[in-house]
Amino acid sequence: MVHGKVKLGGLLLMALLLTGCAGMVTQRLGNTLSSAILNQTDPETVRAGAPAYLLLIDGLIADSPHDRTILLAGARLYGAYAAVFVDDKVRALQMAGKARDYARRGLCTDYPQVCRVEAAPYDQFVPSLHEVQTDGLEALYAYGATWAGRIQADSSDWAAIADLPKVEAVMRRVVAMDARHDNGRAQLYLAVLNTLVPPSLGGRPEVGRSYFEQAIEISQGKDLLVKVEFARRYARIVFDRELHDRLLQEVMAAEIQVPGLVLSNVLARQEAAELLATSPDYFME
């Protein structure tokens, strides 16, 4: 369904990582760990160190199984780690499943109607999203992101892939509630969802391009992942090498030391270098 190391929900989830964790146990603990991970320049340090935090989160959830803040913290961390750092498919699927479970519990503790119709047809599911109020925005966002991550973890599961329109509906609802939420990352999800397949198979690349451009505008171009995904998922689909190479060259030249985006930008630059290296072969020039 997708190509390269960056998976749907992968770096996106890593960027979500812990942004809503300030209320778990103490505000200082959440803020300190969140900042340390998101501003880390060495991805391998995160790969090696984050599992200890996974165990901490599991313990906190076991003690407070209905605490939405802690559940969402667990959802973000498990989803991000599985998508970006776990190569074994079985382990990644297990972790993505746990992330999905934590996010569902975090949302549906206060909005059980969403989970009750989750498996219902699309037309029955979407109205339930409009019952989520402002206080549930972050939970709804994590719910959609981890759902996408769970689908990505097993892209051979066609029954799961059939739920992608519901994931898109979740993200559209997030944007409708707050167009600038998470600095444009909801638009990035929508851009990816609309460019997963070529137009001949039902993809909507021009809709995706619009969302990519919105995400760039909202983040002021500082979120380098947006340009990488724009190149990978739009420019390659429409065979626009000029756009493809320009976007990636901008990533290679950009400042990566942006608070809250350092780790994401480091990983995005790695991806940009790989995509640029394969550009001549891909575009057959």
- In sequence order, what are the residues at sequence separation of 6 or more whose Cβ sits closer than 8 angstroms to the Cβ of residue 44? none
Q: What is the pLDDT of residues 127-159, one digit of tens each?
A: 999 999 999 999 999 999 999 999 888 877 778
Residues 174 and 192 in one domain: no
Report d(CA 173, CA 54) in Å as an integer: 29
**143 contacts: CB under 8 Å, gap ≥ 6:** 103, 104, 106, 107, 114, 170
* Residues of the domain holding 120: 1-178
Q: How many domains is the chain partitioned into structurally?
A: 2
pLDDT of 157-185, one tens digit each?
778 888 999 999 999 999 999 999 999 99
Matching residue, tokens 């998508």:
83
Q: Which parts of the chain register pLDDT below 70?
A: 1-35, 285
Where is the domain boundary, 178, 205, 225?
178
pLDDT in the model for residue 65: 92
> In this structure, are 184 and 174 located in the same domain?
no
Its sign, for the CA torsion 46, 47, 51, 57, is: positive
CATH number, domain of 242, equals 1.25.40.920
Residues 77 and 185 in one domain: no
Question: pTM value?
Answer: 0.86
